Amino acid sequence: MAAAPDTVRRAFMQSHAAEDVVLADIAAAAYVTSRALQYAFRRHRDTTPLTHPRRVRPDAAHRDLVAADPVTTTVTEIAARWGFGHSGRLAAFYREVYRAAPRTTLRLTD
């Protein structure tokens, strides 16, 4: 069975979440125009294609924090992996979503 178009788009967005992709790249991966992609995101996700990674990145960082070994991994490394230029940026997004500091999650996993 072939993957649904939404699955392909979601996979693309998640696999490129740490990168600064441009709208045209996302639209090309979805085989639609940039404008069609914007309309689809607004209608089905109540967001924009360029705002969506801001939601995906903290989730991906959270998964990495939970899975990481706090002895060998730092919050700074995980922040950089997911495109946060500074660990403080990750911390701000992370607190909004998870109501905890990233370092707290990293420590709880040992």
Tokens read off for 70: 């706090």
Residue 86 DSSP code: S
CA distance 34 to 50: 11
Nearest-10 crossing angle of helices 23-30, 5-15: 150
109: tokens are 């996993």
Selection from 7-11, 42-46, 99-103 with the highest mean pLDDT: 99-103
Confidence of residue 12 (pLDDT cuts 50, 70, 90): low
Tokens (6 digits) for 87: 């660990």
Instruction: Report pLDDT digits (tens) over 29-65.
Output: 778 888 988 888 888 778 887 777 777 788 889 999 9
Confidence (pTM): 0.63
Structural domains of the chain in order of their starting residue, each with its CATH number = 5-50 (no CATH), 53-108 (1.10.10.60)
